[in-house]
Structure 1
Amino acid sequence: MSEVVLGVGASHSTLMNTHWDEVADLPDAVAFRDGLQEAAGLVAAARPDAVVIIGSNHFRGFFLDMMPAVTIGVGECVGAGESGTPGGPLPVDTGLARHLVDSLLENEFDAAFSLRLQVDHGITHSLQYLVPDLDVPIVPVVLNMFAPPLPTLRRCHRLGERIGRAIASDGEAKRVAVIASGGLSHRLPWPKWFATFSDDDRFLVEAWLNGRASWSEYEVRRRQIIRAAAPDINSDFDRRFLDMLADGGLGEILGYDNHRIESEAGNGGQEIRSWVAMAAAVGPARGRTLAYAPIPQWLTGMGVAVLSVGGDR
């Protein structure tokens, strides 16, 4: 029987790769980087045989021509490599990945699967900083967090519970770490695909619909739109969520609908789904926040937290 040995949640931002010099002297940015390094040490100390990583996709692997709610990579997995994140083939634990899909289906939870999955920094940023040598096979789980309608937080929690059960029933003896990538509060200058009002809105929706074979051709203008955005960070929401995670009491947040999440934490705050699923996969555990800081230069409330099974806070 395999077991989950550690859970980690970490915010991501490609600006950490491309514009680090702008914040290198800021204590908050340094503290977040140090929190990532501490978490990486804890992942290494846990000696995982596999890492289940739950994250989002920013329209570089999934597009509006086909947008599943949940997708598990069971074969090839390739990093898009945007903004200095890992590109090219990533090692996949295909046996565990297939077992997760089969187990979910047997428990009436339909997940899409992919034998050739392209992921972006919604998956690879955390691998880059938490599993820097990329020598541990992964199981990528991609949740739709940006193209409404989105799976509810309760649904994501149930997904995490079933992932945890599947790991425990795989008939192996693997040590598995579960990593959540995304969030916390932030607002991207992204329209809803069905409500475009400006030229930038229409450009982005075109990129999201037609970019499957040419996503990189849209990248320059897309990056300019994001860099021009004003930060919208809700530190109170972030700290409250991290406290709930540490206390193991996510019940309150599970009642939030999409509108409430967006109104309090921005459209990027929808990425807490990965954290919710991770916590449910880990099960009863002690939590600890390693770092939190609102970093307006990255548009995001940046947090790192760990859940230690049966451990101390």
Structure 2
Amino acid sequence: MTEIVLGVGASHSTLMNTHWEETHHKDRAERFRDALGEARDALAAARPDTVVLIGSNHFRGFWLDLIPSFTIGVDECLASGESGTPKGPQPVDRELALYLANALVERSGFDVAFSARMQIDHGQSHAVQYLLDGLDVDLVPLVVNVFAPPLPTLDRCERLGRAIREAVLAFPGDRRVAVIGSGGLSHRLPWPDWRDPRGEDEEFMVGAWRDGRENWQDYDARRREIIRAAEAALNPEFDEEFLSWLERGQAHRLTEYTTAELEKVAGNGAQELRTWLLMAAVLDHAPGRRLSYEPMPEWLTGMGVAVLDPAQTQNSERQS
């Protein structure tokens, strides 16, 4: 029997690794880091065999020569290791990953791309570093396109999450499965719409995304300079509202936004909330528990951590 035992949503930032000492709001940073540790402990207590790890691509694993909306890693998975995140091969639950790739087509009509040699970046390896530290689990990595428009709609992401839930629960093997959504919350990156770059920096970025498959490291120093020069654009009110939806089992309300509306209210980085939405849908929108929310302008991001525990929901239903 296969069970879905826990869901975790967590923001990521490589600046935790590279600029910790320069962080001004150390108290907030420490509370966020502690919340990651608490989520890691919740994952350990749930004893998963496999983690469906849903993250975004920051043009170190996928480039503009090919950008699927959704890609499942079904065999080899390599982490790029930028900015102090884990590097090298990651363990993949090949049996479950292949089953999902097939079942989503056969049962749900989702023609999700697959990769037998996937490269992930900090959009997922940040979670490996902080949420899976010391845990003996295999992965089913799922990369969502959130930065190269046209993006999959929020409604499409929510429906994919439900389809993944159905497929996981129908898996004939014996697994305890946890789900992590990595990304968000509100933030704005100095990244252009690749279709219409404006100015030298934006043209450089698009060139890096188009041509960086074999030598992405060559572009990294200037990329980092452009990002570090950006001004923070957070929306704590939006972040609080989204987290309150998650706590009430209503993360599906995010689908009320169009892609353009979400960017306008919470920045282009908030498109990563597709990963949280997918995670919540796989958990059947069980009510969540917020562990932390910290607006971190020096990391350019509203940083949040939450846990969705279906066992808690079942206990509450029995008591009522």
TM-score range, shorter chain: over 0.9
1:293 counterpart = 2:294: yes
Letter in 2 for 1:80: S
Task: Give the match for residue 26 of structure 1.
Answer: 26
Specify the alignment match of 1:168 in structure 2: 169
Counterpart CA distance in 2 for 1:24 and 1:149 is: 36
Q: Is the 8 A contact 2:158 2:252 kept in 1?
A: no
- Give the distance between the partners of 1:179 and 1:42, measured in 2 at CA: 12
Aligned match of 2:270 = 269
2:42 maps to amino acid: L
In the alignment, the residues of structure 1 paired with residue 216 and residue 59 of structure 2 have an alpha-carbon distance, to the nearest angstrom, of: 8
- Alignment correspondent of 1:91: 91
Equivalent residues of 2:24, 2:298 under 8 A apart: no
Distance 2:236 2:12 in 1: 16
Please name the residue that 2:310 is paired with. 309
Which residue pairs with 1:39 in the alignment? 39
Aligned residues: 313
Q: Following TM superposition, by how much is the alpha carbon of 1:253 offset from its aligned partner in structure 2, in angstroms? A: 1.6
1:203-256 superposed Cα distances (whole Å, 9 cap, x missing partner): 000000000011110000000000000000000000100100110113432120
The alpha-carbon deviation at position 97 of structure 1 amounts to 0.3
For 1:52, the equivalent position in structure 2 comes to 52
Partner of 1:13: 13
Q: Which runs of 5+ in 1 are unaligned?
A: none
**Alignment map for 1:1-313 (pairs within 5 Å):** 1-23=1-23, 26-106=26-106, 107-133=108-134, 135-311=136-312
- Deviation per CA, 1:85-116: give whole Å up to 9, x if none: 00000000000000110110012101000000
1:134 CA drift (Å)? 5.3
Matched AA of 2:177: V
- 2:285 & 2:69 partners in 1: Cα distance? 26
TM-score relative to the length of structure 2 = 0.96
CA offset at residue 65 of structure 1?
A: 0.6
| 8 Å Cα contact 2:79/2:89 also seen in 1 | yes
Letter in 2 for 1:14: T
Q: Please say if residues 8 and 179 of structure 1, whose CA atoms lie closer than 8 Å, have aligned partners that are also in contact.
A: yes
Instruction: Name the aligned partner's letter for residue 71 of structure 1.
Output: T
**Aligned-partner Cα distance in 2 for 1:303–1:9:** 8
Quick one: which amino acid aligns to residue 97 of structure 1?
A
Preserved CA contact (<8 Å) 1:53 1:138: yes
Deviates more, 1:172-181 or 1:303-312: 303-312
Q: How far apart, CA to CA, are the structure 2 residues paired with 1:33 and 1:195? A: 37
Q: For the Cα contact (< 8 Å) 2:44–2:135, is it kept in 1?
A: no
Q: How many Å apart are 1:35 and its aligned residue?
A: 0.5
Q: Distance in 2 between matches of 1:205 and 1:196?
A: 7
Structure 1 segments of 4+ aligned residues over 4 angstroms from their partners: none
My pick for the range that moved more, 73-82 or 245-254, is 245-254
Q: Distance in 1 between matches of 2:157 and 2:245?
A: 16
Q: In the alignment, is the contact (CA less than 8 A) between 2:12 and 2:303 conserved in 1?
A: yes
Change (3 A) 1:7 1:123: same
Say if 1:47 and 1:175, in contact at 8 Å, map to a contact too: yes
CA distance, structure 2, for counterparts of residue 194 and residue 6 of structure 1: 39
What is the aligned-residue RMSD (CA, Å)? Answer: 1.2
SS in 1 for 2:136: coil
- Matched position secondary structure for 2:312: coil
How many angstroms apart in 2 are the aligned matches of 1:43 and 1:49? 10
Distance 1:25 1:299 in 2: 12
Q: Whole-Å Cα distance in 2 between the matches of residues 281 and 84 of structure 1?
A: 30
What letter corresponds to residue 227 of structure 1 in structure 2? R
Give the distance between the partners of 1:118 and 1:128, measured in 2 at CA: 16
> Which whole-Å CA distance do the structure 2 matches of 1:155 and 1:65 have between them?
23
The amino acid across from 1:12 in the alignment is H
